[in-house]
Amino acid sequence: MLMGRMNMRTIITLLVILVVEGCYWERGVSTTVTYDHKALVIDGKRRILQSGSIHYPRATPDLWPGIISKAKEGGLDVIESYVFWNYHEPVRGQYYFEGRFDLVRFVKTVHEAGLYVHLRIGPYACAEWNYGGFPVWLHFIPGIKFRTSNELFKREMKRFLKKVVNLMKDENLFASQGGPIILAQVENEYGNVEDAYGVGGKLYVKWAAETAVSLNTTVPWVMCAQKDAPDPIINTCNGFYCDGFTPNSPSKPAMWTENYPGWFLAFGYPIPYRPVEDIAFAVARFFEKGGTFQNYYMYFGGTNFGRTAGGPLIATSYDYDAPLDEYGFIRQPKWGHLRDLHIAIKHCEDYLVEADPSRVSLGMNLEAHVYYKTSNDCAAFLANYDSKVDANVTFKGISYFLPAWSVSILPDCKNVVFNTAKVVSQKTLDDVSFVRNTITRKSSLASSAWDWYKERVGIWGSNSFTASGLLEQINTTKDASDFLWYTTSVNVDEKIERHHKNVVVLSIASLGHAALVFVNKRPVGFGYGNHDDASFVLKKKISLNPGNNTLDVLSMIVGLQNYGPWFDIQGAGVNSVVLSGLKNAKENLSSKRWNYQVGLEGESLGLYKVNLQNSSLWKKGNALPTNQSLIWYKGTFLAPDGKGPVSVDLSSMGKGQAWVNGRSIGRYWPAYHSPSTGCTDNCDYRGSYNARKCLKKCGQPTQTLYHIPRHWLHAGENILVLHEEIGGDPSKISLVTRTGQEICASLSEADLPPSDTWNPKVGFSSEVPQVRLTCDQGWHIASIRFASFGTPEGDCGAYMQGSCHANVTSIYQQACVGKQQCSVPVFAANLGDPCPGVLKRVAVQALCSV
Ligand SMILES: *[C@@H]1O[C@H](CO)[C@@H](O)[C@H](O)[C@H]1NC(C)=O
Ligand SMILES: *[C@@H]1O[C@H](CO)[C@@H](O)[C@H](O)[C@H]1NC(C)=O
Ligand SMILES: *[C@@H]1O[C@H](CO)[C@@H](O)[C@H](O)[C@H]1NC(C)=O
Ligand SMILES: *[C@@H]1O[C@H](CO)[C@@H](O)[C@H](O)[C@H]1NC(C)=O
Ligand SMILES: *[C@@H]1O[C@H](CO)[C@@H](O)[C@H](O)[C@H]1NC(C)=O
Ligand SMILES: *[C@@H]1O[C@H](CO)[C@@H](O)[C@H](O)[C@H]1NC(C)=O
Ligand SMILES: *[C@@H]1O[C@H](CO)[C@@H](O)[C@H](O)[C@H]1NC(C)=O
Ligand SMILES: *[C@@H]1O[C@H](CO)[C@@H](O)[C@H](O)[C@H]1NC(C)=O
C-alpha cells in the first residue's frame, strides 16, 4: 500500500484543487529582491522557485504569450533567457531590438503572465548560438582578446551590459521598479574554461563581478559554473544533477541555473532524449538536499532560424526534448509529470525555506531529508538513489515502497503526494516527427512548377581578390556569408605527363566545417566534419587534363563555434591542399596564390528575396534539374488550413538553406545521417544520465522537418526558396501540419489512497479520483479510441483489452467528446465491476482534433 500512499488519485486531485497559485506580486508595485543562505528573498520572504529557459528569438513574438502561459500552467515561477548581443548590435553602435529580438516586449509578456524573469545578460551566451552570441565585428577590433582581462574587450562588454541594463531600467522592468526581473547573470559558465586564460582569467572574473554590481540593477547577480564568483555574486550550478552542489559562501543559496531536460541536436547525430523520471529525480534530489531555485534549460527550445545556430554543425531544431516541443506543443508526459512535481514541491515550500534539512539514513543508498518547522511538524523527501534495486523503507514508523532511482515527497512527513518514478500524467503519441495520418496532414506544395537558378562555380564577381596562401575563413568572410571560394589553377605539362593517365590524388584539409570541391568546374567531392571535430581531410582521385585545369573549393561554415576556451579564434576553412602523383605540377598548393570570393553569386543577387520572385534570372521549364550541387530552387504554395504551426519536410534534399517569403527558416542537412548504432527506444531512466545515454533515430537524417512559423505565411501564394548545395529533389518536398493529437490516460486502483486526497490546507479530503484528459490548445476530443476498465494491457498507442474488461467507451464518449478537457471518476460503482476482487485499472486513448 505504501506505494499506495503515493498515488495518482492524490496527484490528480492536487491538479484540480491546487493549480499553482497565480501572481505572487502586484504588477507595478516595487519588489525587493535579496538573498540569504537559504533562498532568494522576495519582499522579505524566502522563496522556492521553479524556472524555465525560453529564448525569445527562437520563437516568433505571436507565439510568446502561449508558450509562457503553458510554462506558467506547468508550474513555473520564473522565465529565463539569455540576451543575444550579436543580433542586438549587428553593427557596432547600431542597435536592433525589434521583431523576434524585441527584448522589452518579451520581458513585458512574461510580466503580463504574472511570472518573474531571470535575465542572463552575459553578454557571452554560448546557447548553441552563432559565435556564442558575440558580434563577429568584435573580433576585428585590433588587439582585442575575448573573455579575459583585455581593456578593449572589457570596454565593449561593459558598454553592452550597460545598454541592456539601462534599457530594462528605462522600461521599469527590474523588480524594484515594479517589473518582473528578479535576477541577472553576468558572463556564463566561465569557470569551465577559466584555467585556459591564466591570470587574465582570474582578473576578468573579478572585473566582471564588479562591473555587474556597479550597474545597480537592484537585483542579485549570478555567475553560473563559476566556483570563484566574488561576493556578492551568487555562484550557481549547471548540470544534469546538482544535489551535490554547495555555493562558495555560507551566505549564498544553492541555485541551479541549467537543468537539461534533454540535449541539443547537431547535424549528423541521433536525437538525444531524457526520460522524465530521471529529470524529476534530479529536481527532487536538489530540493531534498536544500536547493531553492531550479531552471530547466530549456523549457521551450524552439528553432534556430536563419543563421542563428551555433556551431560547429548545430541543427536548426533546438527542440531539446523540452517540456514544450519545438513548436510550442505540450510534450507529455514530460510537461505533466514535472508540473505534478512542482505542485508537490510547492506544498513543501513553507518547510523548505524554514531550515536546513536533517538527513536520516534509511539503508544502503536510501535516505530521507526532513525539514522541520517544529519537532512534530515537518515535510520529508525519501530517496532511493540505487540505480537498480527497489526498496521498502520505514520512516517514522510507516513503511514506504521506493522504486530504484526515485524520490517520494511527503509534505506532512506522512503522506506521499508524488514519487518521481511514478508517472501518472497524461501521455501523448504526437511527436511531430511521427507523421501519422490521424494527427498530421501532409500536403505537397501546390506549385507543380519549380524555377531554378544554377549557381556559378568559382569566382563570380568583381569583388574577388587574390592572396598568397590559404586564408582563414572567418577572418576573410567576417561571417557575412557561410561561404568562401578558394580557387586556383593547376597546369599539367603536356610533354612530361603525356604518357600518364594524369590520375592524381587531391588531398584537401580543412579546419571545418564542410567543403565542395570542383575540378574543371565539375564536382569531385564533398567533405565535412562533425560537431565534436569540425576538421576533416578530403582525399579524392581526380583526373587532370593536359594544360590548364581549374580547382575551385567552396568552403562552408555551419554555425560559428559557440563554446570552449578561446573558441572565438579557433578558425575555419581550408588550410592545406596537396596533389600527389603528378610529375611537374607543384605538389603542395597551400602557399601558392589563390583567388578568393566571399559568398555565393545567388546570395549577392538576393535570390531568396520576394522582390526577385518574377525575375528572369529564374529558369523555368519541364526538365527540373535534380541531384545537382549549387542550385537554387523556387516554388510557391498556399498556406495549409488552420492556425497552428507548419513544417516543411525536406527529406528529399541534401544540404542548404531555405527561405519562406524572404525569411530564412534555417540551414537544412537531411543528407547527413546519424551513425547506425547507439540508439535505444526504451532508455532506462535509472542511473546517471549523460547526453549520450538515450538516443533515437540512429542511421537516419538528423532533421527532416523544418519549422515555418505560421505568422510568416499569408493568404495566397507563399514563396519557398531553397539553396541546395550538394543535390536534392525539390519535387518531393511536402508541407506538414499537425491536425490533432492522440492522448492517453491510465489510472490503477492499486494506486489509490485508502480514502482521501491531499490538500495542504486540510490534509486529506475525500475526492473521488478522476481520469483527466486534456487536449492541447485549439483541439477538442473527437473520439474515444479505447477505453477499458479491468486489466487492459499494453501502453499508450497499443492498449489491448485484458482478461477482465468492461467496455467503458460510451461513458467516456458522453463525458468527453466535443470538450477540450474532461474527467471521469474511477470507481466500480461508476464504471461497473467486470471482475470483483481483481485489481483493476482504467486505460483510455482519445483523439483530439479541431
Ligand atoms: C541604485 O538604484 C536605486 C534605485 O533606482 C537608487 O535608489 C540607488 O540610489 C542607486 N544606487 C547607486 C549606488 O547608484
Ligand atoms: C515491499 O513490500 C511489499 C509489500 O509487503 C512487497 O510486496 C514487495 O515485494 C516489497 N518490495 C521490496 C523491493 O522489498
Ligand atoms: C588557367 O586558367 C585560369 C582561369 O581561366 C587563368 O586565370 C590562368 O591564368 C590560367 N593559367 C595558365 C597558366 O594558363
Ligand atoms: C585572424 O586575423 C587576426 C588578426 O589579423 C589574427 O590575429 C588571427 O590569428 C587570425 N585568425 C585565425 C584563426 O587565423
Ligand atoms: C603544405 O604547405 C603548407 C603551408 O606551406 C603546410 O602548412 C603544410 O604542412 C604542407 N602540407 C604538406 C602535406 O606538406
Ligand atoms: C510576381 O507575379 C505574380 C503573378 O503575376 C504576382 O502575383 C506577384 O505580385 C509578382 N511578384 C512581384 C514581387 O512582383
Ligand atoms: C546523384 O549524383 C551523384 C553523382 O553526382 C551520383 O553518384 C548519385 O547516384 C546521384 N543520386 C541520385 C539519387 O541520382
Ligand atoms: C466498446 O463500445 C463502443 C461504443 O459503445 C463500441 O463502438 C466498441 O466496438 C466496443 N469495443 C469493444 C472492444 O467491444
Residue 308's CATH number: 3.20.20.80
Within a 10 A sphere around the Cβ of 312, how many other Cβ atoms?
A: 27
Active site residue 258: yes
Please list, in sequence order, all residues whose beta carbon lies within 8 angstroms of the beta carbon of residue 216, skipping any fewer than 6 positions away: none
Q: Which residue do the cell numbers 554543425 mark?
A: 313
Residue nearest (by alpha carbon) to ligand 8 atom 14: 807
> Is there a single domain that holds both residue 80 and residue 228?
yes
Tell me, yes or no, whether 424 lies in a domain.
no
Closest CA to 186 of 168, 164, 166, 161: 161
Q: Is 291 helix (H, G, I), strand (E, B) or coil?
A: coil
pLDDT, residue 435, reads: 44
> Is there a single domain that holds both residue 700 and residue 579?
no
**DSSP at 832:** -
> Is there a single domain that holds both residue 746 and residue 701?
no
> Is there a single domain that holds both residue 714 and residue 824?
no
Measured from the CA of 578, which atom of ligand 5 is nearest? 13
> Is there a single domain that holds both residue 504 and residue 565?
yes
Measured from the CA of 614, which atom of ligand 6 is nearest? 1
Ligand number nearest CA of 490 is 3
Q: How far is the CA of 610 from the centre of ligand 6 (A)?
A: 9
> Is there a single domain that holds both residue 609 and residue 593?
no
Residue nearest (by alpha carbon) to ligand 2 atom 12: 391
Distance CA 353, CA 367 (A): 20
Q: For residue range 526-548, what is the model confidence (pLDDT) as tens digits? A: 999 999 999 999 999 998 888 89
Tell me, yes or no, whether 414 lies in a domain.
no
Q: How far is the CA of 6 from the centre of ligand 2 (A)?
A: 15
Tell me, yes or no, whether 25 lies in a domain.
no
Please list, in sequence order, all residues whose beta carbon lies within 8 angstroms of the beta carbon of residue 336, skipping any fewer than 6 positions away: 330, 425, 426
Q: How far is the CA of 718 from the centre of ligand 7 (A)?
A: 30
Among 347, 373, 395, the domain-final residue is 347
> Is there a single domain that holds both residue 587 and residue 614?
no
Tell me, yes or no, whether 754 lies in a domain.
yes
Tell me if 366 CB under 6 Å of ligand 2. no
Tell me, yes or no, whether 243 lies in a domain.
yes
Tell me, yes or no, whether 517 lies in a domain.
yes
> Is there a single domain that holds both residue 92 and residue 218?
yes
- Domain CATH for 835: 2.60.120.740
Ligand number nearest CA of 523 is 7
> Is there a single domain that holds both residue 571 and residue 623?
no
Distance CA 592, CA 831 (A): 84
Measured from the CA of 717, which atom of ligand 6 is nearest? 7
Query: What pTM, to 2 d.p., does this model score?
Result: 0.94
Distance CA 491, CA 484 (A): 23
- Domain CATH for 443: 2.60.120.260
Tell me if 807 CB under 6 Å of ligand 8. yes
Active site residue 189: yes
Distance CA 261, CA 299 (A): 8
Q: How far is the CA of 482 from the centre of ligand 4 (A)?
A: 18
Among 683, 706, 732, the domain-final residue is 732
Tell me, yes or no, whether 195 lies in a domain.
yes
Q: How far is the CA of 225 from the centre of ligand 3 (A)?
A: 55
Tell me if 803 CB under 6 Å of ligand 3. no
Residue 301 contacts residue 322 (beta carbons within 8 Å): yes
Tell me, yes or no, whether 428 lies in a domain.
no
Domain count, the chain: 4
Q: For residue range 184-206, what is the model confidence (pLDDT) as tens digits? A: 999 999 999 999 999 999 999 99
pLDDT, residue 5, reads: 40
> Is there a single domain that holds both residue 119 and residue 262?
yes
Tell me if 491 CB under 6 Å of ligand 3. yes
Tell me if 610 CB under 6 Å of ligand 6. yes
Among 732, 752, 773, the domain-final residue is 732
Tell me if 448 CB under 6 Å of ligand 6. no
> Is there a single domain that holds both residue 686 and residue 780?
no
**DSSP at 800:** B
Q: How far is the CA of 704 from the centre of ligand 6 (A)?
A: 30
pLDDT, residue 438, reads: 62
Out of 89, 156, 187, 189, the active site residue is: 189
Distance CA 489, CA 471 (A): 17
Q: Choose which residue among 487, 520, 548, 592 to substitute to test ligand 3 binding: the one with the highest number of ligand atoms within 8 A of its C-beta.
A: 548
> Is there a single domain that holds both residue 447 and residue 481?
no
Q: How far is the CA of 627 from the centre of ligand 7 (A)?
A: 6
- For the chain, residues with pLDDT lower than 50 are 1-26, 432-435, 752-756, 766
pLDDT, residue 430, reads: 57
Which domain range does residue 801 map to? 740-849
Residue nearest (by alpha carbon) to ligand 4 atom 5: 475
